[in-house]
Chains A and B, each alone.
Chain A
Amino acid sequence: MQLSVKDGAVGISAWTLADLRDNEEAMLDHIELPTDFALRLMELGFLPGHPVSAAHSAPGGDPRVFRVDGGEIALRRETARHIFLRKH
C-alpha cells in the first residue's frame, strides 16, 4: 500500500531527500512509502509543505541526519530516496 500526500504541487519532480547536498534546504512534497512508515515519518516532522535540510552523515554518507521541524532525524539513503522534494 502506498501513501502519497501531495500538497498542491504542480507536477511531481524526481528530486528526493537523497539528492540534497550538505546544508541545502528544500520543501517536502510527498512521501512514497508504506502507510505505517510514512505516518511515523510525518509524526517526526516530515510533513508535506515543511522545509527540510541535510546535515551530518555517518562515515560513507549513509545514514544521514536531516533537520526538519526543529528536530534532527537520521534516515538511510534507501528511505530518503522515497521522500520527494520541491523548490520553495
Chain B
Amino acid sequence: MSDCHDCGHAKTASALGVVPPPKATVQRLVAIVGPPNSGKSTLFNRLTGLRQKVANFPGVTVEHRLGKAHLPGHHDVDLIDLPGVYSLQPRSEDERVTFDVLNGKKSGLRAPDAVVVVLDSTNLGRHLPLVASILSLRLPTFVVLNMADDLRQRGGSVEVESLANELGTPVALISASTGEGVSSVLRFLTGGIAIPKPVELPVLNDLPACRQWARRVSNDSGYTRPAPPVWTRRLDSVFLHPFWGPLVFILVVGAVFQTIFTGARPLMEGVQAAIGNSGQWLRALMPDNMLRSLLIDGIWSGVGAVLVFLPQILLLFLFIAVLEDSGYLARAALIADRTMARAGLQGKSFIPLLSAYACAVPAIMATRTIESKRDRIATILVAPFMTCSARLPVYTLIIAAFVPDKPFIGPFIYTRAAAMMGLYVLGFAAAVFTARVLKSSILKSERTPFVLEMPAYRMPTWNSIGLRLLDRSKAFLKRAGTVILGVSVILWILCSVPMIDGKAPPIEQSLAGTLGRAIEPLIKPLGFNWKIGIGLITSLAAREVIVGTLGTIYGMEPDRDAAGLQAALHRDLTFGGALALLVFFAFSMQCMSTLAVVRRETGGWKWPIIQFTYMGVLAYICGFVVNRIWS
C-alpha cells in the first residue's frame, strides 16, 4: 500500500516541474511542522534516531529540536522538530518558537529551506487550514498525512494525488509509528524540491473561510472521514467514569510506586553487588596509598552509591513514557483540573507540573505553553516542589533504612511504597499551597481558560520509549561522571586534610568534618548531625549528591561494615531526624540547574532568589517541627 502512495507522490513531484538542484555546499535545513499530537516527533525520531521527547500530549515539544537525517549516498539533512501549532498566529511562547523559526527570525538559526507538514489523517478537515498558512510562506513544502494505519482501520480514505493537485505540492500518506511510507519523506529530503504551485488560498485570518476551503479541498480529494475511534471511547467510559476514573487513577499511581520499589530491587542489588565487589577487587590489587584511597574511598563509594539508583530511575521514566505516549495523561489532566483550579492554577499548569515529576528543568521550560504571564511565573515557582527523580535515591535510601517493609494496604501496597507515595503527595501539597498563596497575593490575576485536546489512545512504540530511556541513562551517567564525580573528589580531599603523619586524619578532625561541625548547631534542631551537614552542603549542587557524599563519608570511616550505607545511617540518625531529612529534601531547593533555568526563563535573579529562600525556609521550619514531634 505504501509503495503505491510513493509512486503517486513521485509522479506528482515531477509533474510540478521547477526542480532546482540540491545545494551542494550548505546542508539543507528542513522544518517539521504540524498541529499538536499529529506525530511530528515520532517522525522526527524515525528520521534521525536522535533523542527527542515524543508524547501523546499537547504542548510537550516546547523548544525547537535539531537532528540529522543520515541519507546514504546524499548529504545529511538537518531537521528541526517544532512545537505543535494549530495556526501560524502565535499566542503562547512555544507557538512563537515555531513562528520565528519558520520566518527565519530565530536567532542563531537560519530560515528553513523546506517544510514537512505533518497532519493527522484521521482529522483532515480540522488540520488542513494550517497547510494554507504554511503554503503562503512559499517554501518548498511536503504534506505528510500521518496515522495511515489508524485511518484505514477506521474505514477512512483519501486520494493522495488529488489532494496534491489541490494543494499544488506533493502529499504522502504515511504512518510514522509503523514506518509505512516513511521512505517518501526521505525521498523528499534528498530529491529536488520545488516551490508549491500557486493555488487559490483562503484569506488566512478569516477562520470560517479557511474551514470552508478545507472542506472543499478534502471533499475534492475524496476524503472519507474515519469512523469515531471506538476503543478510545470505550476506554474513556472507564477512565473518565465518575467513580471508576479516579479509582483507576489512584490504582495506576499506586502500582507505579510499588513496582519502582519491589520491581527494581533485584536490579539494584545486582548493581550494588557489582560495584561493591569490583571495589574490593581493586582494593586488593592496589598498594595501600593515597591514590587507592582517592579511587576507592572517594570516587568508587561516592559515584557507586548514586549509580545503584539507575534501574529505579529508568523504571520511573518507563512508566511516565508509557502514560504520556498512550494518551492517558491528557485524561489525568482533565481529572486534576478541579484541584488545580482550587489552587488558582489551570489545567495547563498541570502539564509542566507532571513533567516536574521527572525533572524540574524541562518542566519549567514547558511552562511556555501558558499564555498568562502571572500563571506562568506561579507555575515556575511551584514546579520544584514536585518530586523529581533526583529525590528518588535520597528517599529510597532513607526509607529503606528506617521503614520496615510490611503489607500496608492489602497485599499490594507495602509500607515502603506507601511512605514513598506519601512524600509525593507532600510535595504536591506544598506546590498547591504555595500556588494558592501566590495567586491570592503577588501573582493575582483573572482565571485563565482551560482548553485541552483529548488525543485518541495509542499504543506506545518501543522505538520512542527506548530512545527516551537511552536518553535518560545518558543524562544520569553524565551527571554521575561530572557533578557527582567532581564533588566526590573535592570531598575526598576535604576529608583527607590536614594530614597527620602523612595519613588522613580521623574524619571528625578533617576539613570536611570541621565544616560539618561548624554548621551542626544550625541543623541540630532538625535532628541532623555534622555528617548529614556535609551532605546538605554538597547537595546544593544536586539533590542526589548527598547519597554519594554519605557513601564517601561512611566509606572512609575505619569501622566500616559490609551492611553499608543503610545500616550506617540507621545507627547515626534518630527516627525523627530521618523524617526531618525526608521533609527537608521534599521542600528545599537543592539544584543548581533548576535555579539557572528559572533565571533564564524569568529573565533575572529576582525570582530564583525568592524561590530559593522560600523553599529553604519552608524546609527548615517543617523539618524542625517534624523532628520535634517524633523525638
Contact assessment for A48 and B208 in the assembled complex, using a CB-CB cutoff below 8 Å: yes
A57 to B242, CA, bound (A): 8
| A34 CA / B242 CA spacing, docked (Å) | 32
Bound: A74/B125 CA distance, A:
19
In the complex, per-residue mask of A65-79: 1 if CB is within 8 Å of any chain B CB, else 0:
100011111111011
Are A45 and B335 in contact (CB-based, < 8 A)? no
Q: Is the CB of A5 within 8 A of B123?
A: no
Please, how many angstroms separate the alpha-carbon atoms of A36 and B448 in the complex?
A: 12
A selection of 29 A-B contacts at a CB cut-off of 8 Å is A36-B91, A40-B451, A42-B208, A43-B86, A43-B87, A44-B453, A47-B207, A56-B236, A56-B240, A56-B241, A58-B245, A59-B242, A59-B245, A59-B246, A63-B347, A65-B236, A65-B240, A65-B454, A70-B122, A70-B126, A70-B225, A71-B126, A72-B453, A74-B337, A74-B347, A74-B450, A74-B453, A74-B454, A78-B447
Q: At the interface, yes or no: A62 with Cβ under 8 Å from chain B? A: yes
With A70-B122, A75-B451 as contacts: A63 and B337 at CB distance below 8 Å: yes
Q: Which residues of B contact A20 (CB under 8 A)?
A: none
Q: Cβ of A59: which chain B residues have Cβ within 8 Å of it?
A: 242-243, 245-246, 335, 338
The docked-state distance in angstroms from the alpha carbon of A86 to that of B451 is: 22
Residues on the B chain within 8 Å of A48, using CB:
208
> Is B453 in contact with A73, judged by CB distance below 8 angstroms?
yes
Docked-complex contact A40 and B86, CB < 8 angstroms:
yes
Q: Report the nearest A residue to B86, measured CB to CB.
A: A43
B334 lies within 8 A of A63 (CB): yes
- In the bound complex, residues from chain B placing their C-beta under 8 Å from that of A56 are 236-237, 240-241
A-B pairs with CB below 8 Å: how many?
95
Residues of B within 8 A of A49 (CB): 208
Q: Please give, as numbers and ranges, the residues of chain A lying within 8 Å of B447 by CB-CB distance.
A: 78
Cα-based distance from A73 to B330 in the complex (angstroms): 10
> How far, in angstroms, from A45 to B87 measured CA to CA in the complex?
12
Tell me the bound Cα distance from A59 to B331 in angstroms.
11
Is residue B211 within 8 Å, beta carbon to beta carbon, of the partner chain? yes
Residue B452 lies at the interface, judged by CB distance under 8 Å to chain A: yes
Whether the Cβ atoms of B451 and A79 lie closer than 8 Å is yes
Interface residues of A in 5-54 (CB under 8 A from B): 5, 7, 33, 36-37, 39-45, 47-49
With beta carbons under 8 angstroms apart, the residue of B87, B125, B454 that contacts A70 is: B125
A48 vs B87: C-alpha distance in the bound complex, in angstroms? 18
In the bound complex, CA of A49 to CA of B207 (Å):
13
Set B225, B242, B245, B454: member contacting A72, Cβ < 8 A: B454
Within 8 Å by CB of B86, from A44, A58, A72, lies: A44
Q: Give the chain B neighbours of A60 by CB distance below 8 A.
A: 242, 338
* Inter-chain contacts of B338 with A (CB < 8 A): 58-60, 62
Q: Knowing A39-B89, A58-B240, A59-B246, say if A71 contacts B451 (CB, 8 Å).
A: no
Asked if B126 and A69 sit within 8 Å, CB to CB, the answer is: yes
Q: Interface size bucket, B side? A: 20 to 34
Taken residue by residue from 216 to 242, chain B's Cβ proximity to chain A (1 for < 8 Å, 0 otherwise) reads as: 000000000100000000001100111
Q: Once the chains are docked, how many angstroms separate the CA of A5 from the CA of B209?
A: 13
Taking CB atoms, residues of chain A closer than 8 Å to B266 are none
Task: Find the B residue at minimum CB distance from A49.
Answer: B208
For residue B576, CB closer than 8 A to chain A, the reply is: no
* Residue pair B450, A75 in contact (C-beta under 8 Å): yes
B197 to chain A, nearest CB (A): 26
A68–chain B nearest beta-carbon distance, Å: 9
Complex contact A73–B454 (CB within 8 A): yes
| CB interface residues, B 11-39, toward A, < 8 Å | none
Q: Check: B535 CB closer than 8 A to any chain A CB.
A: no
Chain A residues with Cβ below 8 Å from B211 are 47
Shortest Cβ distance from A7 into B: residue: B208
Report whether B451 and A58 are in contact in the complex, using a CB–CB cutoff of 8 Å.
no
A78 to B225, CA, bound (A): 31
A43, A45, A78 — most chain B CB neighbours (10 Å): A43
A4 to B409, CA, bound (A): 54
Residue with the highest number of chain B CB atoms closer than 10 Å, among A72, A73, A75, A78: A72
Residue from B122, B129, B236, B452 whose CB has the most chain A CB atoms within 10 Å = B452
Q: Is B502 at the interface (CB under 8 A from chain A)?
A: no
B240 nearest CB neighbor, chain A only: A56
Contacting residues, chain A, for B454 (C-beta < 8 A)? 65, 72-74
Taking CB atoms and an 8 Å cut-off, the chain B residues in 447-465 that contact chain A are: 447, 449-454
A75, B450: Cα distance in complex, Å: 6
Given A72-B453, A74-B450, A74-B454, the answer on whether A5 and B208 have CB atoms closer than 8 Å is yes
B450 touching A76, Cβ below 8 Å: yes
Distance (whole angstroms) from the CB of A46 to the closest CB of chain B: 10
Cα distance, A53 to B57, chains bound together (Å): 22
A59-B245, A59-B335 are known; give 10 further A-B pairs, CB within 8 A: A5-B208, A44-B451, A62-B337, A63-B452, A65-B236, A65-B240, A65-B334, A70-B123, A73-B454, A76-B337
Sorted from nearest, which 10 A-B pairs have the closest CB atoms? A56-B240, A43-B86, A72-B454, A42-B207, A70-B123, A74-B452, A69-B126, A58-B334, A76-B450, A79-B449
Contact A76 B208 (CB under 8 A): no
Contact with A along B30-56 (1 / 0, CB 8 A): 000000000000000000000000000
Most A Cβ at <10 Å: residue of B242, B246, B447: B242
Bound Cα distance from A44 to B451, whole angstroms: 9
CA A78 – CA B451 in complex, angstroms?
Answer: 11
